[in-house]
Amino acid sequence: MRHPNHQQPHLHNSPHRLYFAASITLIYAAIEASVGWWANSLALLSDAGHMLTDTSALLIASLGAWLAQRRPTPRHSYGLGRAEFLAALINGLLILVMASIVIIHAVERLQQPLPVQGEVVSTVAFIGLVLNVLVLYLLGHSETDLNQRAAALHVLSDLLASIVAILSGLVIIFTGWTLIDPLLSLLIVAFILYSTLRLLREVLHGLMEGVPLELSLTTIGTEMAARPGVLSVHDLHIWSLSSQQFALSAHVVLLDLNQWDSILDDLRHMLSEQYGIDHVTLQPETPARVVHSPSC
């Protein structure tokens, strides 16, 4: 069965959907932040911050679509796929700064509550909810890959944040309890931190050339060593060229070097079909040439 990551990025086939979704999300985030500031609503401000994380996710996906079209050069022989990791790292760090600011203001509001216009909060948050449904529709009907799935998860969490902001406004309208606003804003920030820390974990793992989280070095090495004509595999390395493209290199110990061409085709096909690894570099060896190397 083909591994989900086997497909090459399709974002370049429909980048207009991502750019449109990012644009309307960014515009509304600015509107929501302005209204939240005017209405003294931290729930709206933090929801606007969360929509900013959605915009970042969509722009990262768009950047990946653009980079997927860039050809390798003599200075960047693998292309510029790693720029996606750097962009994600910068966005993640900025999101952490934004979340910290919201937390500080939420604590201040808990200590010194301010009047909040509940009607405005509920109305603006409801419009944001409709907008998030629209963006999810756009992502759900475009060609799907991991970048778009991640962006869709961001938007889905923001949809939940909009629901929380609506509840905040309704509680204030009917009860006058303004403390619900900073309390729910902290809940929204928790959503932001959870998704952002997961993103940063994957980004740092990729930048450190770790084995892709969805792959197992031991499993792949064992599978390669079990192919016909292969005695063992050692010096096996797997890393990410981008969030969509994986590379592998290894030394393969053979029973008969004369069978290398057919074994190479078999290994390449297996790695591509089962694990989505298309950048493969393999070195054939005979048992006599192996000198105390760890094997799989």
CATH number (3.30.70.1350, 3.20.20.140, 3.30.1360.120, 3.60.15.10) of 217-289 reads 3.30.70.1350
Most confident of 48-52, 85-89, 204-208, 223-227: 223-227
Structure tokens at 205: 């793992």
Amino acid at 105: H
Structure confidence at residue 2 (pLDDT) = 41
- Positive or negative torsion for Cα 280, 6, 69, 241: negative
CATH number at 4-207: 1.20.1510.10
In the block, residue with structure tokens 């989900």: 4
Q: Which of 216, 279, 280, 215 is nearest to 252 (CA)?
A: 280
Close Cβ partners of 32 (under 8 Å, ≥ 6 residues apart): 44, 45, 47, 48, 51, 124, 125, 128
Question: Is it true that 4-207 and 217-289 share their CATH fold?
Answer: no
* Residue 190 exposed, middle or buried by CB count within 10 Å (0-12, 13-18, 19+): middle
**In terms of pLDDT, which residue wins out, 204 or 77?**
204
| Neighbour count for residue 3 (Cβ, 10 Å) | 16
pLDDT tens digits, one per residue of 131-179: 878 877 776 654 445 456 566 666 776 777 777 778 877 888 888 888 8
Residue ranges per structural domain of the chain: 4-207, 217-289
Task: Give the SS3 label for residue 252.
Answer: strand
Helix ranges (DSSP H) in 176-225:
180-207, 217-225
Structure confidence at residue 136 (pLDDT) = 76
What pLDDT band is residue 196 in, cutting at 50, 70 and 90? Answer: confident
Say whether pLDDT at 183 is over 50: yes
| Neighbour count for residue 233 (Cβ, 10 Å) | 25
Query: What is the chain's mean pLDDT, rounded?
Result: 78
pLDDT tens digits, one per residue of 199-256: 788 888 888 989 998 899 999 999 999 999 999 999 999 998 877 789 999 999 998 8
Q: What are phi and psi of 115, to 5 degrees?
A: -65, 140
In the block, residue with structure tokens 């997961």: 198
